């Protein structure tokens, strides 16, 4: 799934006006939560999703009106009774969606959104503040402010600085202020990156699926015949490097996920030796339990700690009985989704925390 904040600068650079749609308030059950966002283009087509179905259709129609008028809109969805049955989406919940036209000629847009994209891609993160008001010109002074992590809390507006201790640090929220214009507080966590070591057959299925569910994919392999754009058109980056060379080019942190799917256990061991030194949120390695024992034994003899190796998911992927490359790719993506949800504190359909 495309991240709208990574796409906005390209549309603005091409001179295409768009609408940024965000769920700023939710009460009760809804398909997506506060902070979910999408872009709506001039023809009504949607980049990303805020829930699909009737909700997305109504947002698309409202966005076209907002573009035509050049002013912000707040669409209130309070669906009950027959309306719920018609949408088959909201289960009686209440959702407010803020529609904000983005003008390619607006210098604030052209400055701010590339900053947002760079902060997400670099791993720095930050917070985007938007004053939520109906019928306003989006480019008005003070309508939006982006602060990098280093600028918080010193750079906050006065009405938010006083409330800093009570503000949610990692989740979006609509904050009421003394100025009577609520501010949408939107922490922007770095984009999750999947570092895919190995450009073989299974990886060609893993990469597009990972992109589809929101990961930026970096493919790493020292074979140019395998690690190329023709085989991995959806990859954000392709590095034709050895594991040792690659580790000098990348930084593994809490937004990094690593899948080791190389052409043999010797290469797997070489990659694992490097990545266990980092701070990745997830490291998975393909192979049987027998292969795992061989690789782990060799690495521990080199001084790699058992504790570090116990954090590695091997065999990689959820145990769903996968056999074909396509099925194995699905099992890997399922495990990535599960780990990401756990780290984000999300819940299962039954309302339980992800285990």
Q: Are 327 and 320 in contact (CB under 8 A)?
A: yes
**What pLDDT sits at residue 92?**
60
Of residues 349 and 233, more confidently modeled: 233
Q: Answer yes or no: is pLDDT of 110 > 60.
A: yes
| Number of C-beta neighbours around residue 19 at 10 A | 26
Which whole number is the average pLDDT over 250-273? 90
With bands split at pLDDT 50, 70 and 90, how would you rate the model's confidence at 50? confident
CA distance 145 to 130: 7
Fold of 193-343: Rossmann fold (3.40.50)
Global pTM value: 0.68
- pLDDT of amino acid 349: 45
Is the pLDDT at 245 greater than 50? The verdict is yes
- Domain residue extents for the chain: 4-102, 107-188, 193-343
The pLDDT mean for the chain works out to 86
- Mean pLDDT across 133-155: 84
Q: Token pair of 340, please?
A: 């990401």
> For the packed helices 289-301 and 265-275, what is the interaxial angle rounded to 10 degrees?
50
Higher-confidence residue of 213 and 328: namely: 328
Report which secondary-structure segment, H or E, holds 324: none
Percent of all residues in the chain with a pLDDT value above 70, rounded to a whole number? 89
Contact 280, 214 (CB under 8 A): no
**pLDDT tens across 94-105, in order?**
889 999 999 999
- Tens of pLDDT along 212-224? 888 989 999 999 9
Q: How many CB atoms lie within 10 A of CB 209?
A: 20
pLDDT, residue 302, reads 92
Q: What is the phi/psi pair of residue 54, to 5°?
A: -60, -35
Looking at residue 13, what is its pLDDT?
95
Report the SS3 class of residue 30: coil
137-146 pLDDT tens trace: 877 777 899 9
Is the pLDDT at 156 greater than 50? The verdict is yes
CA distances from 308 to 253, 275, 304, 337 (A): 15, 10, 7, 22
Closest to 102 in 3D by CA, of 61, 130, 76, 121: 130
Question: Is the per-residue pLDDT at 85 higher than 80?
Answer: no
Residue 347: pLDDT band with limits 50, 70, 90: very low
């Amino acid at each position: 799934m495309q991240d709208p904040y990574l796409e906005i600068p390209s549309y603005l650079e091409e001179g295409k006006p768009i609408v940024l749609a965000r769920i700023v308030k939710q009460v009760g059950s809804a398909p997506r939560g506060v902070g979910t966002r999408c872009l709506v283009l001039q023809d009504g087509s949607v980049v990303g999703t805020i829930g699909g179905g009737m909700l997305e259709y109504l947002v698309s129609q409202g966005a076209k009106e907002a573009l035509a008028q050049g002013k912000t809109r707040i669409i209130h969805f309070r669906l009950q009774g027959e309306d719920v049955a018609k949408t088959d989406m909201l289960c009686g919940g209440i959702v407010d969606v803020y529609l904000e036209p983005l003008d390619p000629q607006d210098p604030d847009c052209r400055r701010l959104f590339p900053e947002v994209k760079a902060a997400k891609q670099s791993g720095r993160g930050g917070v985007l503040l938007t004053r939520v008001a109906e019928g306003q010109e989006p480019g008005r002074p003070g309508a939006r402010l982006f602060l990098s992590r280093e600028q918080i809390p010193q750079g906050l507006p006065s009405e938010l600085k006083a409330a800093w201790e009570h503000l949610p640090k990692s989740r979006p929220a609509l904050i009421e202020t003394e100025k009577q214009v609520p501010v949408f507080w939107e922490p922007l966590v770095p984009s999750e990156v999947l570092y895919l070591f190995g450009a073989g057959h299974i990886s060609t299925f893993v990469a597009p699926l990972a992109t589809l569910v929101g990961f930026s994919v970096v493919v790493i392999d020292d074979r140019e015949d395998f690690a190329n754009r023709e085989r991995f058109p959806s990859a954000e980056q392709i590095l034709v490097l050895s594991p040792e060379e690659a580790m000098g080019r990348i930084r593994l942190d809490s937004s990094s996920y690593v899948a080791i799917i190389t052409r043999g256990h010797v290469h797997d061991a070489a990659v694992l030796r490097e990545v266990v030194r980092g701070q990745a949120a997830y490291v998975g390695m393909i192979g049987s339990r027998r292969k795992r024992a061989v690789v782990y034994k060799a690495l521990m003899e080199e001084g790699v700690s058992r504790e570090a190796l116990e954090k590695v998911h091997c065999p990689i992927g959820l145990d769903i009985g996968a056999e074909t490359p396509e099925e194995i790719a699905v099992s890997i993506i399922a495990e990535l989704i599960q780990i990401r949800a756990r780290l984000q504190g999300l819940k299962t359909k039954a309302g339980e925390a992800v285990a």
